[in-house]
Structure 1
């Protein structure tokens, strides 16, 4: 399988799990959502917000 054509599926997690994934705080995740660095996804029917782990991985890649 060619990895260039592989489809990447979203992996939505809570803000707490996202913060744990990048070793930061929930407050940092909320700031990044607010400034547009990452996207926050509201769950229909409740007040919960989720983030995509794929976006967090991209955010944490080293710059070259």
Structure 2
């Protein structure tokens, strides 16, 4: 098994991918929402062939931003 080195001299394992269904289940989003993020350019999909698209979990996680305020409507 091959590993790659980064600039700090440590090694990283092979890149892991997940399906849109796995990403949707893990993040509690719908597959349709995941597809919308890919279509809008907010998320990168990696095409294996004509039918199969995989996602980098780190890219999916990067969609979420920490927040301490709630800007929702209501009283």
TM-score higher than 0.5 here?
Answer: yes
- Stretches of structure 1 lacking an aligned partner (at least 5 in a row): none
Larger radius of gyration: 2
User: Do the aligned residues in 2 keep the contact of 1:38 with 1:55 (CA within 8 Å)?
Assistant: yes
Q: How many pairs are equivalent?
A: 59
Bigger helix fraction: 1
Root-mean-square deviation over aligned CA pairs: 2.3
TM-score (structure 2 length as normaliser): 0.65
Match of 1:24 in 2: 29
Deviation at 1:11, TM superposition (A): 2.3
Matching of residue 38 in structure 1 with residue 34 in structure 2? no
Structure 1: 4+ residue segments shifted above 3 A: 5-10
TM-score (structure 1 length as normaliser): 0.74
Structure number with the bigger relative contact order (C-alpha 8 A, sep ≥ 6) is 1
- Stretches of structure 2 lacking an aligned partner (at least 5 in a row): 1-7, 69-75
